Amino acid sequence: MLHLSPHIRPGGPSPAAPLAGAALVLALVAPRPAAAFELWGTGPLADSSVQVSSDFELRYHQNDDTLELFPDREGVLDYFEQVERINLLLTRPGLSVGAQLDEGAFFANRYILDGEEVQERPLYDPAHFVSPWDNALVRLEKVYLEKRWDHISLIVGDTYASFGRGIALNIVKNTNIDIDTSIRGAKLGVQAGDLEFTMVSGLTNTQDISQDNPNLLITRDIAHMVTGLGLTHYAVGPVQVGAHGVLYSFGRAEDRQGQDIARYSRELDAIVSGADAAFHALGVDWYVEGDLFGYRSPELTQLPEGEDRLGYAGYGSATLYPGKATVLIEAKHSLDTERVNAFSTPDNWEVANIPTLEYENVITEDASAAVNSNDISGARVRVDYAVKPGAVVPYVSMAAFRDRETGGLHFNRSPETIGHGIVGAQLVKGRNVLLINTGFRMDRRDDFARDGADLMFHLDGDLQFPISDTDSIEIAVNGRRFWWGNNEFQQEDFLEMNNAVGWHRGEKLVFLVYQDFTDNPVITTTGNIPLVTAASSPEGKDGRYLYGAGEVIWHPKTSSTLRFFYGAYKAGIRCSGGQCRSLPGFRGGRMSWQTVF
pLDDT at residue 3 tops 60: no
Q: pLDDT tens for residues 99-118?
A: 999 999 999 998 787 788 88
Which one, of 144, 166, 163, lies nearest residue 153 by Cα? Answer: 144
Judge whether 215 and 199 are in contact, CB under 8 Å: no
How far are the Cα atoms of 173, 246, 300, 353 from residue 162, in angstroms, in the given order? 11, 10, 22, 10
Judge whether 355 and 400 are in contact, CB under 8 Å: no
Residue 370, H or E segment: helix 367-371
Instruction: Encode 549-593 in three state secondary structure.
Output: EEEEEEEEECCEEEEEEEEEECCEEEEECCEEEEECCEEEEEEEE
pLDDT at residue 438 tops 60: yes
d(CA 110, CA 43): 50
- Give the pLDDT mean for 467-491: 94
Judge whether 178 and 213 are in contact, CB under 8 Å: yes
Say what the pLDDT of residue 241 is. 98
d(CA 346, CA 372): 13
d(CA 582, CA 354): 19
- Give the pLDDT mean for 176-182: 93
pLDDT band at 544 (very low <50, low <70, confident <90, very high): low
d(CA 332, CA 348): 24
- Least confident span in 97-106, 108-117, 239-248, 493-502: 108-117
d(CA 416, CA 444): 5
- Give the pLDDT mean for 14-32: 40
Edge-to-edge strands, sheet with 116-119: 2-3, 110-113, 116-119
Output the DSSP codes for 276-326: EEEEEETTEEEEEEEEEEEE-SHHHH-S-TT--EEEEEEEEEEEE--TTEE
Judge whether 480 and 499 are in contact, CB under 8 Å: no
Distance of alpha carbon 396 from the chain centroid: 27
The domains of the chain are located at 1-141, 149-355, 492-597
pLDDT band at 37 (very low <50, low <70, confident <90, very high): low
CA atoms within 13 A on the CB side of 387: 9
Cβ neighbours for 250, distance < 8 A, ≥ 6 positions apart:
224, 225, 263, 269, 270, 297, 299, 342, 343, 344
pLDDT band at 17 (very low <50, low <70, confident <90, very high): very low
Residue 252: strand pairing partners: none
How far are the Cα atoms of 238, 442, 486, 488 from residue 491, in angstroms, in the given order? 53, 17, 9, 9
